[in-house]
Structures are given as C-alpha cells and as structure tokens.
Structure 1
Amino acid sequence: MTQFSSPRRKSGPPRLASNRRALAAALVAAGAVAACSHDDEAAPAKPPTPAMAAPATATPSAAPAPRAEPSAEARDAAAAAEVADAGYQGPRIGAMAMVTLVMSDMEWPHDDARRSDKSKGSVRIGYLRHGARAPVIPEKHVKANCTEGWYELVGGGFVCGRYATLDLNHPRVRLAPHDPDLEAPLPYQYAYNTTNGAPLYRQVPSREERLKLEPWLTGGTTASSSPAPSSKKRRRDRDRAERDAGGGTPDVQVQVDTDAGGGMFGLALAAAKAPDEPEVPWYLRDAGAGKPNVTLDDLRGDGPIARRMVKGFYLALDRQFVSGGSSWWKTTGGLIAPADRLYVQKPLTDFKGAWLSDRTAPPSAEAGMAPNPLVGWALHRTKKYTLSGKKAVAGEPVPRFTMVKLTGKNEVVGGVRYDETEDGWWMRVTEGARTRPGPLPRDLTPGEKWVDVNLTTQTLIAYEGDKPAFATLVSTGKRDHQNKEKDHATPQGSFRIREKHVAATMDGDVATDGPYSIEDVPWIMYFNGSYALHGAFWHASFGSVRSHGCVNLAPSDARTMFNWTEPHVPEGWHGANATTEKPGTRVVVHD
C-alpha cells in the first residue's frame, strides 16, 4: 500500500467552488488517503476531489444502523477520557469541508505541507471532518488570508471560517454523515462489496438509469456476484482487499453532490468528457473468471456513476434508506451504493489484549532489555500439557486467544519446547504466542510512553518508562523472500507516531493482486512513511503475519492504542499531527 503525496502550495487554500485541486491536495496532506507499502515512491493516484461534501435534502432519514457496544474496560475508559473532552459545554464550530484544516497559527503553510517545525511558520496540526462539531472560542479574527475570519479551537489551533461555521444548523453541518462512534471498537459500520462493477452513484438513479448501468438486473449478462458470500469466500477475497486489505425504513429521496465522495478511494472523479468504453465492460467481459485485470484509474465513472468497485472492496456506511422501491446505503464519503450488492460486515472476533496493572514484570535477565510481562495467548489447537519425565501428555483444549500468565520457565521434551503457565500446565510454544520485548530505548525518559512490536512473536507491548502497561497480539507484514512484489516486510527501527486519524481510506494497485480499497480504516497511527498501527476488521489472524506492512490490531486494541498514544486528538477532531514541540509516541519494531 502506498501513501500518496500531494502538490505543494504557497498560498492559502482557494474557495471550494473555484479550485478543487488545491482542496484535494489539502485532503491528501491531512493523511486522509494512505496505505501500507514498502514502495513509498510508487506513482501517486489522482487526489480526491473535492473536499466539500454537499448536504442531503431536508427530508426524514432512517436512523443510523446499530453499531457495536462500547467497551466496559475501566482502563480503556480512562484512556478514552484523556482524548475526549466530554465535559465541555461551551460554543462549538461545525466543519463544512470534508477536511477542515486546523493550523498552528492564523496563516496558511508557506511551502512544505508536511513540516512539523512551527519555528518556520504555520503548520497543520490536525483537521476536522465534515459535520464535526469542535469546541471553539467564538471570536472572529478577520485577516486577508481568510476574510471569513479565523476561529481558535479550545483544543488548540485555528480554523478558517471559509470551511467552518458557528451556525450548527447550517445544512452542510446538520445533514452531514453521522459522527464516528468513538466509544465503540469501530467508528463506523462497514460493508463488503460482492460484485465486480457494482456502482457508487452520485445520487439515486432513475429506474431506467439503473437498468442501463447495472445490466445484471435485467437477468441477461451477469457480473461476478455472490450477494451472500460464504465465510470461506469472504476470507479469500479479504486477503485480496488488504494483504497492510431496508425493510421498514421510510421512502426518502437523498440528494448527493455530484462532486462528493471522491475522497473514498483517493482518486479524482472522471473529467467532463467520458472516455471511450470497450464494447464489453471489464466487469462483464470476464464474469466469474477471477480477479479482473484493472487498476483503480480504470474504475472512475462518469454521469450518474462516480466509481465502480471490484469485488472485495469495503465501504464505510452512514445510513440505509429506501428510494424508488430499492434499498440503498449512503457512505461516509457521500456516495450511494445499492444495498443488494453489499454484505454488511459482522464482527469477526471480540479479541482484545489486556492492561497489565496486576502484572509485575520481573527484572530483565539481560542488561538493557525491556522488562517482559511474561504473558502469552493460545492460538490454533492449543492444549494444556503435563510434563512427566521425557513425556508430554496432552490435556483439554484451550480456546483460541485465551490469555495466559507465564512463569518464565520452559522445558524441551521430545524436541518440542513448552512454556510453563502460572496455573501449572504447559503450553507448546508452536501452539501459542508470548511476549518478548527488545531493548529499552537508550534515551527513554522516566515514565515516557512507548510501544514495542516484535515481528517474530507477533506481539505488542505498551510501556510507561520501563513498566509494561498493555499487551496484545498483532499481525504484521507478510514476507516472501522469493518474490519481491509479494514481500511486504514491516520496517524495523525506532520511530515516532507522526499523525493519527480516527479513520481514513486505504487503497492502491498491487501488481500481484490487483486493486484494493478499504474505506475509513479505523484508528490509524502512522509511524514511518505509509506504515501505521491501525485496526483491522476484515480478518482475525492476530498472532500471525498478514498485512501489506502495517501493524494490524484487533479493533478494540487499535482504539485503545489510539487513545493512549500521542499526539493527542482533541474532542471533535478527526486527526492530529505531531509537532517538534509535541512529538508522537515512540514505536520500536524488531524481530
């Protein structure tokens, strides 16, 4: 996966109606379109356009689909409280642009859009997403570079009134997609696209338009589709999507800006002149023959269609509604998808790591090494073993992802290594995972937060100074030493979190797998180029390599780390950048 760069600009962003490209650059610069990759120099896709999402008509809408219940973990709640300034009762400002930039000063950046050194001028320190309502000091500061006035946010920084408003009843605020659920393991509900060529419409099409644009509805030529895919088939297609990939509702009309939603896949919408199409579209030409030979650029639409999708793409959902006798989903990017082409994703696992407040790590056996909390997890076909002399006797099975406390003692019986648990039974090393931290950072300050990721054991430990605070399983980059194109190594070294996003789209073209797109990947923490810690809802392979290079966490764990790490994301913000004065949390990756 590749994080796409954007054109540099030397002046403040122009008005939305007059220059979409500059706003698209701002969107990308804010980190809204990124992905995991070892190829940081890959050719960038065209930027999303525009950043402003248009309102729906003021008509009744169905309630948002139910989302997962918030975690009851006391430590998780405490960590979340550090991020959400929930007690604020004062004025708020609403974001009208898909990305409303938060600047360190009442100036636009001079040249380097990603610079974090405020001594060289105003820098981006974060952003609000369309519809967000952030605490604000409601005093307007009019300047030539923002005649609508700058407003200072309670969480720090300034937003330009060109892209935000104190009028929370403004249609662009009131009718925006719903806010992310910051208390749930996932901020949005997600859906899996089951059909090659399934369209994303700019607005609800007429019946005639739909029959023309979705020929499989007529019962004639069909596209490859499986409206209710089997779990095995979904797993196989999910491998391609990320390898880090309404009855009862009222009949309503939804109007969507014909320019909205470009940010979903990080690509510009088609130009006014439609390209010549082949006699047989790609999604009908090889129906059922496997993955199509197309790129993301080939998927751009025209007319009513903003984009077509490849089977296996994921969408983030805003709400479901019925119009013209058909059920539809509106996405968080503002586009419309036919509900019969989508499979609403169900949680694949409720796995989560654990806080270690009751766990005192023994002194490290090796000088300079981080203390090991000595915890492990059962993985596949784990059993409780009893060691008797030169024999290991298998006992009852241990459920997958069960966390166990270890004594640190291990034995080799019959050429197989076993770890002793505090409960007295032994776990075969090949049937589980255990923590094994690396060295303590040499310049670590007392109590400083930092994260240890072990690529061999597929574990993560969060530390406060030299004390382990949290531990869990991860999935890092899948290796292939024989084929460079399939070798997705997670980079090793000591890094710092550069920026954080509640959710952002990851997409790209992979030579061996074709295009993929996962909209609004949750709880993203970039630490090195396009590599990040982030949540993964499309698989449950934690404890095993899986990704395109990013460090995948279970959704609940990703949220925990998002709330625990720096930079702090103030209430109402969708993302925040580290600065020289306020650096991000250290991340150490090793084998």
Structure 2
Amino acid sequence: MNTDQMLRMSFGRQALIATVLALIWAVGATATFADDTVVDTCSVGVDCEDDDLGLSLEEIELHPSPAVQQIYADDSILFDRRYRRVTAATQFFDAPNGSPTDALDSGFNFVTLTNEEGGWARTSNGKWLPGDTLSTEVATSRFAGVRLTGDTLPYPVAWLLVHVRPSITPGGPDNSDVPVLLRYTTVYLYNSVRVDDWVWYQIGYQQWVKQTQVAVIKPIERPVDVDTERWVSVDLYEQVLIAYEQDTPVFATLVSSGMSEWPTNEGLFHVYVRYPRTIMAGAYGQPDFYYLQEVPWTMYFDDDIALHGAYWHDGFGYRRSHGCVNLSITDAKLLYDWSSTEFDYSVPEDVGPAVYVYSSGIYR
C-alpha cells in the first residue's frame, strides 16, 4: 500500500472521545478544563432536530470566530529551493553524461535542485540526476498554525480537516444551500451532541460537523517531569502540537505523525540535536525505502524520530509519516527558532526542549 492510499484510509480517522473542553487561557495562567462530558445525546430522525441542542444565533454572534492569531506562510522559506520527486530507480552521476557514483533505489525519494543543464539536474549533494527521472516542481504546503494570545477563549478551537458543507442538524446530510467551508479553517466548537456512535460539533448557527472532520486544540496541564521552560506536546489522536512557555500555551498547529506501521512513540523526550537542513534516508532494500534531501528545521528527540518540516505533502492533521512528526515548513521554522533558547551550547550535556507525546483518545 502506498503513502497516498494510507492517507485516504486515514481520512476515516475516528474518535471515541465525547467531550467539549472549556478552554480558559488567561495571561500567565494554566489552561483549565470542563468536565469531559457530551452535552446531549440524540438519535437521527428522533430528536436531533431539537433547536435546544445548539446555541442560538444571538449567542454565536457574540463570538463568531476564534480569538487566535493566524500565522501566515513565509514565502521566503517556501520558495528558496526547488523540490522534485524522483519517479524511478536511477543513479547519481558526477556530471551531465558523466560517470555514475551512487545508485538510488525506487522509493519515496525527493531531492532539491541547484542547477539544470542539458536534460540533467544537479541536486543539493553536488551530484547529477537524469532530468527524465524527476517530477515537476513540488508545491509546498502553505498551511501554518496559530498563536494563542493568552486571551480567554469561550469555546474550544479546532481546524476543519476536510472541505465541508455543515449539516443543519447533528447527524444530518450536508446542507447544499450553504457555501463550502475550506479545509484548515479554524472554528469554535460551540456545542457537542452524540448521535449514535459519533460526536457532532456545532461550529455555527445550524451548522454541525462530525468529529472525524475536525482536529481540536486541547491544552494540557504541564506534566510533572517536564523540566524545561519551553516545551511542546504532541497529541497523536488529534494530530495537534501545542507549544508552551511554562504553563501557558502560546502556539498550536496540525502535524502528521507516524502511520500504524511506523508509529510515533508516546512518552517524554528531549530534543538532543537539531539541524537547519539534513538528509533523511532509511528502510534500505525495503518497499518503504525513502531518501529525502534537505529536510528543513529538524529536531531529533527520540532516537531517529524528529520534529521537522515536510515539503512533500499537505496532509497535516492525518497520520502519514515513517515515525517522525511532520510540520509545515513555516511552522517548523517557527518552532525551531522559538525553541533555540532552551539550548546552552557551552554545556555538553545540555538538552533542548521537552517533547511530550501522548494520545487524548483512541483511533477506531
């Protein structure tokens, strides 16, 4: 099964959790939570059309959109390199029409180009590939996360994971009379209702979406063993990373962690080495072989598992990696710069920020 097939399967990610979390973030204060309960339960065709299940238009108009600060894509780092996928097994050469130096097996292979000449392409390792083995230019994701300003948030915040026309009632069909809401849109979750086996969230007046269509920002209390001022949590269930300063969440974004064959380990770790750009390769001689040049803003925290930017996909919010935690390039650079104060290069044993990986729910 290839990566794209696995991604399509992952779009069926489903949740057991049936919660609405009241997020109260005050400046300098720890996020606090409401009881983990679903407000209502209904059955399709019986009582899901009850107007009392959702907030009124007047209530929603008091807080029409999430009070978070959107980060915008940084074009200076999105387009400073030319990325290509290698589409077939090939060899590197020392010059155009020169001598072969290294074989490159077929796999999930991407390179960055520094020069093109006569049907040949020079890559960042200084070697050349035949141009007919390369794809057209790879379009990097323009997704970026949000800053959490410390202001009080009256409702939980989430990203839409798919383009969707919200349903008028929980469990109902898409409403074809309303505009499509785009993937990566941030929304408030005003209310929640369990319909049979699924939780539905109210994201507007008479606008409901299924739990599989959103990824929720869920700040957590600082684990007792976290020993750095700046640290991050990675929620494998929601596919959401949150950055904290002491007890205060300051930034959140979508990630892509390891697929079931190569899961990202849960636990408490520390960044132990980092690189602005690095080659990643693995699974030599295996069907899942990969070779990735110039992986950006990489921070290793669990052996060969890292937080890093991914220029080769736009599937954030779904599991699709070989174990690492993928971020958009904009988010990876932001996190790389933000966490730099946790390193003391004069102390050989010093470690970087703590990375707490956990799951707030169970996939099914």
TM-score of the aligned structures, taking structure 2 as reference length: 0.69
1:317 maps onto 2:97 in alignment? no
Amino acid of the structure 2 residue aligned with 1:476? S
State how far apart, in whole Å, the 1-side matches of 2:253 and 2:82 are: 24
Amino acid of the structure 1 residue aligned with 2:248? K
**Map of 1:399 onto structure 2:** 182
Deviation at 1:415, TM superposition (A): 4.0
Q: Is the alpha carbon distance of 1:542 and 1:74 closer, same or farther for their aligned partners in structure 2, counting shifts above 3 Å?
A: closer
Amino acid of the structure 2 residue aligned with 1:402? T
Once the two structures are superposed, residues 86-132 of structure 1 have per-residue CA deviations (whole angstroms, 9 ceiling, x without a partner) of xxxxxxxxxxxxxxxxxxxxxxxxxxxxxxxxxxxxxxxxxxxxxxx
Amino acid of the structure 2 residue aligned with 1:454? D
**Map of 1:343 onto structure 2:** 135
Specify the SS of the correspondent of 1:190.
strand
Once the two structures are superposed, residues 107-158 of structure 1 have per-residue CA deviations (whole angstroms, 9 ceiling, x without a partner) of xxxxxxxxxxxxxxxxxxxxxxxxxxxxxxxxxxxxxxxxxxxxxxxxxxxx
Specify the SS of the correspondent of 1:343.
coil
Once the two structures are superposed, residues 473-506 of structure 1 have per-residue CA deviations (whole angstroms, 9 ceiling, x without a partner) of 1111111xxxxxxx21111111111111111111
Once the two structures are superposed, residues 284-313 of structure 1 have per-residue CA deviations (whole angstroms, 9 ceiling, x without a partner) of xxxxxxxxxxxxxxxxxxxx2111323442
State how far apart, in whole Å, the 1-side matches of 2:234 and 2:215 are: 13
User: Which structure has the higher relative contact order (CA within 8 Å, separation 6+)?
Assistant: 2
Q: Is the 8 A contact 1:416 1:428 kept in 2?
A: yes
Once the two structures are superposed, residues 41-72 of structure 1 have per-residue CA deviations (whole angstroms, 9 ceiling, x without a partner) of xxxxxxxxxxxxxxxxxxxxxxxxxxxxxxxx
1:202 maps onto 2:202 in alignment? no
Q: Is the alpha carbon distance of 1:195 and 1:452 closer, same or farther for their aligned partners in structure 2, counting shifts above 3 Å?
A: same
Give matches, 1:151-166, under 5 Å.
Answer: none
**Structure of larger gyration radius:** 1
Unaligned runs of 5+ in 1: 1-72, 81-180, 207-303, 363-372, 480-486, 570-575
Amino acid of the structure 1 residue aligned with 2:145? G
State how far apart, in whole Å, the 2-side matches of 1:542 and 1:398 are: 17
1:529 maps onto 2:303 in alignment? yes
**Map of 1:257 onto structure 2:** none
Deviation at 1:426, TM superposition (A): 2.9
Deviation at 1:438, TM superposition (A): 4.1
**Map of 1:496 onto structure 2:** 270
Q: Is the 8 A contact 1:316 1:331 kept in 2?
A: yes
1:459 maps onto 2:251 in alignment? no
State how far apart, in whole Å, the 1-side matches of 2:135 and 2:231 are: 38
Amino acid of the structure 2 residue aligned with 1:472? T
* Structural RMSD (CA): 3.2
Amino acid of the structure 1 residue aligned with 2:87? T
Q: Is the alpha carbon distance of 1:410 and 1:518 closer, same or farther for their aligned partners in structure 2, counting shifts above 3 Å?
A: same
State how far apart, in whole Å, the 1-side matches of 2:236 and 2:347 are: 28
**Map of 1:385 onto structure 2:** 167
Amino acid of the structure 2 residue aligned with 1:590? Y
Q: Is the 8 A contact 1:500 1:577 kept in 2?
A: no
Q: Is the 8 A contact 1:497 1:578 kept in 2?
A: no
State how far apart, in whole Å, the 2-side matches of 1:353 and 1:192 are: 26
1:192 maps onto 2:71 in alignment? no
State how far apart, in whole Å, the 1-side matches of 2:89 and 2:285 are: 18
Specify the SS of the correspondent of 1:384.
coil
Deviation at 1:436, TM superposition (A): 2.7
The partner residue of 1:305 within 97, 100, 106 is 100
Specify the SS of the correspondent of 2:314.
coil
State how far apart, in whole Å, the 1-side matches of 2:307 and 2:220 are: 18
**Map of 1:585 onto structure 2:** 353
Deviation at 1:190, TM superposition (A): 1.5
Give matches, 1:16-415, under 5 Å.
Answer: 183-185=76-78, 188-197=81-90, 199-205=91-97, 304-311=99-106, 312-320=108-116, 322=117, 326-357=118-149, 359-361=151-153, 374-387=156-169, 392=172, 394-395=174-175, 396=178, 397-407=180-190, 409-415=191-197
The partner residue of 2:339 within 565, 570, 580 is 565
Specify the SS of the correspondent of 1:319.
strand
Amino acid of the structure 2 residue aligned with 1:583? V
- Figure out how many residues of one structure are paired with residues of the other and give that number: 287
Specify the SS of the correspondent of 1:184.
helix
Q: Is the alpha carbon distance of 1:457 and 1:501 closer, same or farther for their aligned partners in structure 2, counting shifts above 3 Å?
A: same
State how far apart, in whole Å, the 1-side matches of 2:181 and 2:266 are: 33
Deviation at 1:566, TM superposition (A): 2.8
Deviation at 1:435, TM superposition (A): 2.0
**Map of 1:174 onto structure 2:** none
**Map of 2:201 onto structure 1:** 419
Q: Is the 8 A contact 2:342 2:351 kept in 1?
A: no
Identical pairs, percent: 30
Q: Is the 8 A contact 2:166 2:208 kept in 1?
A: yes
Specify the SS of the correspondent of 1:566.
helix
Amino acid of the structure 2 residue aligned with 1:204? P
Deviation at 1:514, TM superposition (A): 4.9
Once the two structures are superposed, residues 228-287 of structure 1 have per-residue CA deviations (whole angstroms, 9 ceiling, x without a partner) of xxxxxxxxxxxxxxxxxxxxxxxxxxxxxxxxxxxxxxxxxxxxxxxxxxxxxxxxxxxx
Q: Is the 8 A contact 1:392 1:413 kept in 2?
A: no
Q: Is the 8 A contact 1:382 1:428 kept in 2?
A: no
